[in-house]
Amino acid sequence: MKKTMTNKEYQAYIEAKSPSSRLGRNIVRAFVIGGGICILGQFITNTFNARGYASEEVSGITTIIMIFLGSLFTGLNLYDGLGRYAGAGSMVPITGFANSIVSPAMEFKSEGYILGVGGRMFVIAGPVLVYGVSTSIVAGIIYYLLR
């Protein structure tokens, strides 16, 4: 007959089998890689500013370039490895948002361009967009009423 485990025994068993968390290492990796991505974005911004572009233009150009690079690295299967190494450090910048759109599109390409790519492209990023737009509308209404 099998012996049933108590909650304490089960927790001890799980503790013994679970790998130890390397929180300090993960934080440093996220900080270094995320900071590196931000430094690249700042370098692009500074380069265009030095060439005489207006600040409004530069922010748009930098965003487009960073989204392109995130999409390119996802397409070349490099961004997934970066994400495994850096964790949130690679997901928080705009390049992570590009990855969250391109990755499902590539994964479901075999299902066709309409139902596969088009239907699955915003599986991850869709909720972010919906809640971001909704929050900005609510904030705009509150700002309008308090002004």
Which residues, at least 6 apart from 60, have a Cβ–Cβ distance to it below 8 Å? none
Tell whether the model's pLDDT for residue 87 goes beyond 60. Answer: yes
Tell whether the model's pLDDT for residue 2 goes beyond 80. Answer: no
Q: How far is it, in rounded angstroms, from Cα 138 to Cα 147? A: 14
Q: Which residue, 116, 120, 124, is CA-closest to 99?
A: 124
Q: How far is it, in rounded angstroms, from Cα 74 to Cα 14? A: 35
Average pLDDT over residues 4-20: 82
pLDDT at res. 123 = 82
Average pLDDT over residues 9-20: 82
| C-alpha gyration radius of the chain | 22
Q: What is the pLDDT of residues 90-146, one digit of tens each?
A: 887 788 888 888 888 888 888 888 877 787 788 878 888 899 999 999 999 999 999
Of the listed ranges 2-11, 39-48, 54-63, 82-91, the one predicted with least confidence: 2-11
Q: Could you give the 3-state DSSP secondary structure of residue 90?
A: helix
pLDDT at res. 80 = 86
Tell whether the model's pLDDT for residue 50 goes beyond 90. Answer: yes
Better pLDDT: 101 or 21: 101
pLDDT at res. 1 = 57
Which residues, at least 6 apart from 137, have a Cβ–Cβ distance to it below 8 Å? none
Q: Average pLDDT over the chain, rounded to whole?
A: 88
Q: Using an 8 Å Cβ cutoff, are 74 and 67 in contact?
A: no
Q: Could you give the 3-state DSSP secondary structure of residue 147?
A: coil
In angstroms, what CA-CA distances link 82 with 16, 38, 93, 100, 122? 29, 15, 13, 13, 21
pLDDT at res. 22 = 84
pLDDT at res. 119 = 79
